[in-house]
Amino acid sequence: MSRYHREFRFANGVHELLMPDIHKYLLSEGYEYRDFDGEQVYKKGSGWVSAPTFVKIQASKTVIIIEAWIKTALLPGVYVGESGIDGFYGAAPKGILANRVRHIEQMITNNGGVDAANATAAAVGEKKNVFCTKCGAKNDADAKFCVKCGEKLVK
Ligand SMILES: [Zn+2]
């Protein structure tokens, strides 16, 4: 019962049009971009009829983080809880929100984003490490001798 959270990394940087495209997509789906409890979020629904759904997207030069959640309303405007996009309760709005999140994730992966949870070091362009056969110390991939014991590194 917590927020959906997923992080994508970009080896070649986030495309300059990707964030504006995601913004346009969410507005076209009826979301408003606004401040809610001190967070800048995309929000849809008032809580009068259905639970409002939220999407939050944070981007840096090489990372995009997506969060999504639904507020459970006890009374109009009185929210008692927050839940992610899986699970049975409120399945219909969750399913719609999940589909929108999938759509955004598709836009991200089409633009070179790699799921940080699955990303291998190679996929995000990071150097792999090499481990010393004598002392086990971690060394940079391009190192020739162990930083700790001076042993010649085997690759
Ligand atoms: Zn060593």
Q: Over the stretch 100-119, which tens digit does the pLDDT of each residue have?
A: 999 999 999 999 999 988 65
Whole-number average pLDDT of the chain: 83
| pLDDT of the residue at 120 | 54
Which residues keep their CB under 5 angstroms from ion ligand 1? 132, 134-135, 137, 146, 148-149, 151
Q: 53-87, pLDDT tens digit by residue?
A: 899 999 999 999 999 988 876 666 666 677 777 65
- Residue 141's pLDDT is 82
DSSP 154: P
- Tell me phi and psi for residue 137, to 5 degrees: -65, 150
Q: Provide the β-strand partners of residue 64.
A: 8, 59
- Side chain identity, residue 27: L
Bridge partner list, 83: 70
The pLDDT of residue 14: 93
Q: Which residue, chain included where needed, has tokens 């030069």?
A: 61
CA 121 to centroid of ligand 1, rounded, Å: 22
CA 139–ligand 1 middle distance (angstroms): 9
Question: Whole-model pTM?
Answer: 0.68
Q: Percent of the chain scored above 70 by pLDDT?
A: 78
